[in-house]
Amino acid sequence: QMRTTRKVSVWPVGLVGGRRYERPVVENGKVVGWYTGWRADRPFAIDMAGNLQVILSHPKAVFKRRGSQPGMQESDFLKQITTVEELEPKANNCTKVLVWHTRTEKVNLANEPKYHLDTVNIEV
């Protein structure tokens, strides 16, 4: 699905942020929010990978090593090349986990919600 990205696409990621998954919340094919375990108020509450051509077409865009608040580097970078309205939801409107954030340690689900569950039933 990444191959069909025109500019910047987004999708759920499993086993990340102390949760079973995190994902963009999509309504009518547009990203309207974030289901995340940490700072959902970020403009782009995501880790990222990108389309090299899009990045190269914005030569003044920089990924700041310093000057960004903790956890805001992705948002600070993405604000230079796109908007939330332009994001392209993948994985069946962000309702399927097709990618996992893997590590060589035991999975930590400390941020998995006990009461405020996602509105979409996703199998991880």
| DSSP secondary structure string for all residues of 18-53 | TEEEEEEEEETTEEEEEE-SS-TTSTT-S-----HH
H or E segment to which residue 15 belongs: strand 13-16
pLDDT (0 to 100) of residue 48? 67
pLDDT (0 to 100) of residue 53? 81
pLDDT (0 to 100) of residue 50? 62
Q: Show which residues are catalytic.
A: 74
- Render pLDDT for 35-61 as a digit per residue (tens, 0 to 9): 988 888 889 988 766 667 888 899 999
pLDDT (0 to 100) of residue 115? 67
pLDDT (0 to 100) of residue 55? 83
Ranges in the chain, pLDDT < 50: none
The answer to whether the beta carbons of residues 91 and 2 sit under 8 Å apart is no
- Gap between the Cα atoms of 118 and 10, Å rounded: 17
pLDDT (0 to 100) of residue 25? 95
pLDDT (0 to 100) of residue 49? 62
Q: What are phi and psi of 2, to 5 degrees?
A: -60, -30
Neighbour-count burial of 3, counting CB atoms closer than 10 A to its CB (0-12 exposed, 13-18 middle, 19+ buried): exposed
The domains located in the chain, with CATH, are 8-100 (3.90.550.10)
